Amino acid sequence: MAGVMEVSFTADMDAPGAARRALATLAADLGDDLLERSGLALTEVVAHSVQHCGLDQTDRIDLRLTLLPTLLRIEVLDDGPASKPDKALRGWGLYMVDRLTDRWGVDHRQSTRVWLEFDRSLEQSSDLAEPLA
């Protein structure tokens, strides 16, 4: 299946679990290894937003999952004013993200957008092009 799913959730301690549950809806299309790697990286990025970006429980975290035949792209967006992640690997969390993903980066042009990319093997790909949700 190919398509885009967008969800938004409250910036609280439940946010990493909510993000993983959204990703889990794609389990049949991802395979075990890709689901595990992407889930761990996603959890780290969302937890970083909650814990280090100055968000409170009235703020939202937006998640966009894009599934293409050869790629899973995850984007996490928040409007937090502090501790924006960058590619300078200072702690274990971002080191883990770097090791689990094929590519990742941060865009600070408007809000903070952390993007993660995972290459998909041909066995995980599908030629269908319909919405995810």
Q: What is the CATH number of the domain that holds 108?
A: 3.30.565.10
Residue 77 lies in a domain: yes
Residue 133 lies in a domain: no
| Among 5-9, 20-24, 81-85, the least confident range | 81-85
Q: How many whole angstroms separate alpha carbon 125 and alpha carbon 85?
A: 31
Res. 115 pLDDT band, cuts 50 70 90: very high
Higher pLDDT, 111 or 129: 111
Residue 56 lies in a domain: yes
The reported pTM is 0.83
Residue 89 lies in a domain: yes
Residue 71 lies in a domain: yes
CB environment 43-77: b (16+ within 10 A), e (fewer): bbbbbbbbeebebeeebebebbbbbeeeebbbbbb
Residue 20 lies in a domain: yes
Overall domain count for the chain: 1
**pLDDT given at position 132:** 53
Question: What number is the average pLDDT over the span 79-86?
Answer: 58
Residue 34's domain spans which residues? 3-124
Question: What number is the average pLDDT over the span 85-103?
Answer: 77
**How large is the angle between the packed helices 32-52 and 15-24, nearest 10 degrees?**
160
Determine whether 117 is exposed, middle or buried from the number of CB atoms within 10 Å of its CB (0-12, 13-18, 19+). Answer: middle
Q: Which has the closest alpha carbon to 6: 67, 70, 81?
A: 67
| Among 54-63, 75-84, 112-121, the least confident range | 75-84
**pLDDT given at position 1:** 60
Rounded CA Rg of the chain: 14
Q: Which has the closest alpha carbon to 8: 79, 72, 71?
A: 79
**pLDDT given at position 69:** 93
Residue 58 lies in a domain: yes
From first CA to last CA, the distance across the chain in angstroms is 11
Res. 129 pLDDT band, cuts 50 70 90: very low
Residue 132 lies in a domain: no
